[in-house]
Structure 1
Amino acid sequence: MQLTPASLAPYNTFALTQTADRLTVIEQREQLLELWQARQDEPLLIVGEGSNLLFTAPFHGLVLVNRLKGIVVNETGDAWLLKVAGGENWHQLVCWTLEQKMPGLENLALIPGTVGASPIQNIGAYGVELAQFCEQVESFDWHSGETRHWSAAECAFGYRDSVFKHEARHHLILSVTLRLPKAWHPVLGYGPLAELGEAATAQQIFERVCATRQAKLPDPAVLGNAGSFFKNPKVVTAQAEALRLAWPALPVFAAEAGRSKLAAGWLIDKAGLKGTRVGGAGVHTEQALVLVNHGGATAEDVLRLAALVRERVEQLFGVRLEPEVRMMGPDGETCLDEALACLN
């Protein structure tokens, strides 16, 4: 199989014009073993739709694009078990489950990306996370050439985190098995969903989530972006309470014992950063949590804008924001500070 240098522009929603030394699209499982047997000593990057990636430099290695398809449903007395191939589109899966009268994922509607990417980031929105439904993850280990099955506990899910962002980043996710309980209960604790009331249906929640996201979040096909650029920061509860004394409108949410979660978008907005631009990159004018490509933005533009946002928020609130977007350097995952250092 001949692999040649390729543009990464179609494989990142930021629409940055980076390249990879080699790239191939995986549509059949058999391709993986063939590629693995012919593997070289080079960096590896596994990509779904690139909706949570920032390529900070050309990638000097092999990029595998996961386009495996298929959904298999097994029904038990109290739940539906869905084994979903990693290349399936996440939002289309949510739509399909509702059409099949299998509710549960409606709060996660319109989250961009593939099913295979969902456990890596432990995607979440409006009070729901993937970890609540994940029964098992099946992956291909690029180091050994073997297939592995991970229980939910072995996935080590955390806030926008999992084992697949750390020691298992060389695993390509073949499928995710989701358990959707038949005893469905609406999750209405966040924002506009509370207005629906306890009698809300899954379809009503889905529609409200879609309307809310579409009103606030730019369409990557129109304005390049990677969704929420920063995580909602967690601070000790005493710090959150002190901040709310100074800023009574500050949204604060309960986290684990002794800690609270703050709304990063609110902090960025109050720091006066909406609409701020660095080169072709900017803070979105409607949702400050999103950094966008206004056209022709470079990775350097986005990195310097992210650093500016982080600095201003820390100066004003004493809270240091951490990127949610995964940053990829020339030979693998990097971080904001490392990527900035490479610019100098």
Structure 2
Amino acid sequence: MTQAAPQPARRPPLPGRSNRNRSLFLVGLVTLLAVLCALSVTVGTREVGWADIWASLAGRLETIGQAAVALRIPRTALALLAGAALGLAGAVMQGVTRNPLADPGILGVNMGASLAVVVGVAWFDMTSANAFIWTAILGAGCTAVFVYTIGSLGRGGATPLKLALAGAATSVAFASMVIAVVLPRGDIAGGVRSWQIGGVGGATFDRILPVLPFLAVGFAISLLSARKLNSLALGDELAAGLGERVAFARASASFGAILLCGATTAVCGPIGFLGLVVPHLCRLLVGVDHRWLLPLSALGGACLLLAADILGRIIARPAELDVGIVTAFLGAPFFIWIVRRQRVREL
């Protein structure tokens, strides 16, 4: 009597929401993003009308309102790109580590990129945009490897609590090192302090263009990692049994997130908590399927950073609050709530 050939293991279904509801959330976020983009162009220290907006888009700079719009358009574009990058990077990091506390800021990745840039400026007179970007990506990558290595030591491996503690300690140490590097250099101290807060003010298309290829590659790698992250969510052993190369899946997804974090930090400075808040909110809406979670986290990150930038212009008129300050006020209570939850061992 012949035995039936063994069947390949089937991938267990992931819990989540219906595709119809997910599609509605997707459409809702796209609509909200369009509204926020319009508000970002119109709201500021000077209110502008649609006539000035259309005239500015046509290249006319005849009035103060048209000049204001011309400055806000690249700022809006940078906030959209940076928010999408950080939201997506946070979702990927949480998926790779199965750690609900994972975030480019909390894990020290943004601060590692910042330290690398500051050292390059202070010690090597770095000035070119490409040098900033490559240095920030290198710093982010080295920091991610360092934090994961430290968090993996001891019993239990890389638990969420150990990774969060290792990242927080690394971030504090690197912040102190940034101050130590900058203090003797009064000629760069003002610019570095302003950049360290994290913001999108003063954006120009000349600043944005060099970073676009890095962001494009980071977006592509991260979004294509969705199926791999779904496998990793089932556990390493089950993922390997399903034919997934676990080490390669983690490395490739992490590389995409590091590209996004490093490139964003190079042009905006370190912006914290956005990569923590957005994936959690999106997970509540669409479940844990990364095929939906990743694009929605990118859209949600863009919406949140645009909203934070608009809020920063309104509450401090005629001055402005940088988005790094606004996101810190929004994200810190959210972080405390996550830490106090009972189920923080894994996603």
The normalised TM-score by structure 1 is 0.24
State the structure with bigger RCO (CA 8 A, min sep 6), 1 or 2: 2
Higher strand share: 1
Structure number with larger C-alpha Rg: 2
Higher helix share: 2
The normalised TM-score by structure 2 is 0.24
